[in-house]
Structure 1
Amino acid sequence: MPDSPSPAAATGAGRKLTAAVLGLTALVTVMLCAFALPGVNGGPRHIPVGVSGPQQVAQALQKKLDGDAWDVTVHASADALKEAVRNRDVSGGLVVTSGGIDVYTVTAGGPMAANALTAMANAVAAQQQTQATVHDLVPFPEDDPRGAGFSAAALPMIFGGIFPAVALSRLFPGHGGLRTRLAGVLLYSLVAGAAVAAFLQYGTGSLSGDYWLTTLGLALGMAALTTTFIGLEAVMGMAGIGLGAAVVMLLGNPFSGLATGPHWLPSGWAAFGQLLPPGASGSLLRANAFFDGAGAGAPALVLTAWVALGVTLVLVADHRRPVQAPSQTAGVARESVA
């Protein structure tokens, strides 16, 4: 008969099993919190909107609407308001006319904010016993009117940063492969950015901007993720990629605001999400694909900083001299004596 495990071994196995179960339960709970809390606590948070019309009416609207949900500014005319919307200075607006209220929205800038603005305008119009007419200045393309393809791009872009870092680290391991891995990241980002932009713009019809501008933005986003992962791997080993992937998946993805727009998240969460590569990549893609680059400066700067961080980590690892094993050191000494 096979020997039964000793009491000490059984106790050790029980402790390991308990630790594993508790650890996995904690991981699932953290993931649930990260993905559920932004949705539960979502809502309009200081969405910038404009109002225009007769001076007294516009100022009264500003005083009435300005608060936690809306940041309201008064514009001199309807044309000035529409120009501010297209330049992304505001996310929409209301123009009071003799015939009712004209509502200007930008669905491609954030469908949840556009819906909330429309609902708010209908409520104002009902109070004034008039009608609200909605004008969508920047809609999603006709082939994808709900922006499903755009919203679905978040996870592929994240995995598009993790998988290449793992593959390049396996194909070109060790200190000698550092520069090759870095060169591979930059080349991959350009090729993958062009491929993703082509698929979303010509395959699904989800984007409508300049193809090459969108390609450069996607390439910068992928380079920010992959370069950072390569740098973490160079300094910390595969544990660095695991750490980076956990942060990006548990925080970067749910706080990116890609599907809803960042103004739909609580203020602190939205600001933090825009400082991580997924949030900045989504904002840059939105700016290039629908607004001709308006508002692209801040996310592009954030992504450039992440690329610089990754390259810096690679250079730090590259300047470290590989530590020789004791047997190698003894062999070199014997050869010197001989």
Structure 2
Amino acid sequence: MSTASAPARTPWLRAIALGVGLSLIVGGILLAFAWPSLTASAEDLPVGIVGPDASVAQVEEAVDEKADGAVELIRYDDRDAAVTAIEHREAYGEIVLGDAPTDAPEVLKATAASTQVAGVLDGLAAQLQKQIDAQIRIQVEQGVQQLQATMGAALQAAMAGQRPQLPQTPETFEIPTVTVVVTDLAPYSDADPQGVGLTVSIFPLVIGGVLGGVLLSLTVTGVWRRLVGVLVYSASAGLVLTGILQTWVGALQADFWADAAAIALTIAAIASTVTALSGLFGRPGVAVGAVSMILFANPLSAANVPVEFLLEPWGTIGQWMPPGAGATLLRELSYFPDADVSQQWLLLGGWALGGLVLTALDPAGRRAARTAAAAGPEPASAPVAPPAVPASV
């Protein structure tokens, strides 16, 4: 009776190398997600300013001293021009200074553009208020000193037996009350007041696009069937996810069909990229597509922080990839309807179209088919004769 041989044990060196390799992979994943946040720092955030030249110069000097390069002030002619710049996503906020020193300044912000930048603008408003309070305190002290000097001179004259020289109208002064006004031109919706739903929705879109591309690449045989699978999946996912994010969660505020089209196009761009790489390189291309979208494009999408917070040129590169373009498109459709989103539509459409074309061409599959045809059919194995039955005696 024969016994099955025990399976060969894995060599020690291979087991150790596998453990080290897996640890490096985990470290790479952690670095990919943590690096943009750890290195994020505001630099040259475009913020407009309106007002008299003297007042603007004073604020510019204070901002340069306190902001340390985080804010780039851009002059506009009037408040209407500043509001238009915010609505078109040309500026994150504005500082509107009054013509007279007693006119209350106004700080315009757009929380939906970035909660971090809105916090920076709140800090600028507080700094302006401190400067105004300091100026008012100086004016009050000067007025008190002038009044004390007048009364002192009159008292000395009276003590000397002279008629005091009092002004015909008593000198009075009022303590001005100037309060900086903060106006939010683009707040988040009441259903999503902190913008959490909009921010966290981007990663599921990326995962959904990658998952669809991977499964269609590995489970669907036939180029055209795979192509139709990408189109049907993207369209249906756009409807389902828009129904959840807009109707249920309230994170999206644009027209339902516009949001559905944006989500569908984002998923199509990601999924078709994976299927295209599968068509170019086979199964290794599937892995390359999934890793590049999850570990490279998604952290650079600027879904959680403004583009200006990311190191250059990574922020710009991230906006040219599907997750970044999709995140910007959804945000601007919901809260900045006057902004120009043609670039985002064209980018997502270009990624989707290029991926679908390469998926249809399927060069790797065609190469494999030609190789199999050149090898010819496999020879049929010879039939095994049944064992001979001994004749009975």
TM tier relative to shorter chain:
0.7 to 0.9
Distance in 2, matches of 1:244 and 1:169, equals: 11
Which residue of 236, 239, 247 corresponds with 2:284?
239
Q: Deviations over 1:10-55 (max 9, x none)?
A: 7x61111121111111112212222222212222222111011223
- In structure 2, C-alpha distance between the alignment counterparts of 1:169 and 1:191, rounded to whole Å: 18
Structure 1 residue corresponding to 2:313, chosen from 247, 251, 268: 268
Q: Which amino acid aligns with 2:111?
A: T
Q: Map 1:1-338 to 2 at 5 A.
A: 13-62=11-60, 64-65=62-63, 68-97=69-98, 98-129=102-133, 131-173=179-221, 177-292=222-337, 294-317=339-362, 320=366, 322-325=369-372, 329=376
1:291 corresponds to which letter in structure 2? F
Q: Deviation digits for residues 36-89 of structure 1, max 9, x if unmatched?
A: 222122222221110112233224434653673122211111121112111111
Q: What letter matches 1:21 in structure 2?
A: G
In structure 2, stretches of 5+ residues that fail to align are 134-177, 380-393
Count of residues paired in the alignment: 325
How far, CA to CA, are the matches of 2:216 and 2:56 in structure 1? 58
Deviations 1:170-225 (A, max 9, x none): 4422xxx1122112212221221122122111101112112221111111111110
Residue 335 of structure 1 is matched in structure 2 by none
Of residues 136-145 and 116-125 in structure 1, the stretch that sits farther from structure 2 once superposed is 116-125
Name the SS for the 1:163 alignment partner.
helix
Point out the structure with the larger helix share. Answer: 1
Q: TM-score, normalised to structure 1's length?
A: 0.87
Q: Distance in 2 between matches of 1:137 and 1:63?
A: 26
Deviates more, 1:68-77 or 1:308-317: 308-317
1-structure distance, mates of 2:70, 2:343: 23
Cα-to-partner distance string for 1:258-287 (whole Å, 9 max, x where unaligned): 122322222322112112211111011111
* Of 52-61 and 132-141, the range deviating more from structure 2: 52-61
Cα gap change, 1:58 to 1:210, in 2 (>3 Å) = farther
Give secondary structure in 2 for the equivalent of 1:325.
helix
TM-score, with length taken from structure 2: 0.76
Structure 1 residues 38 and 132: CA distance shift in structure 2, 3 A: farther
**SS of equivalent residue, structure 2 residue 69:** coil
Change (3 A) 1:3 1:210: closer
> Displacement of 1:92 after TM fit?
0.8
Question: Conserved in 1, the CA contact under 8 Å of 2:214 and 2:290?
Answer: no
Change (3 A) 1:37 1:331: closer
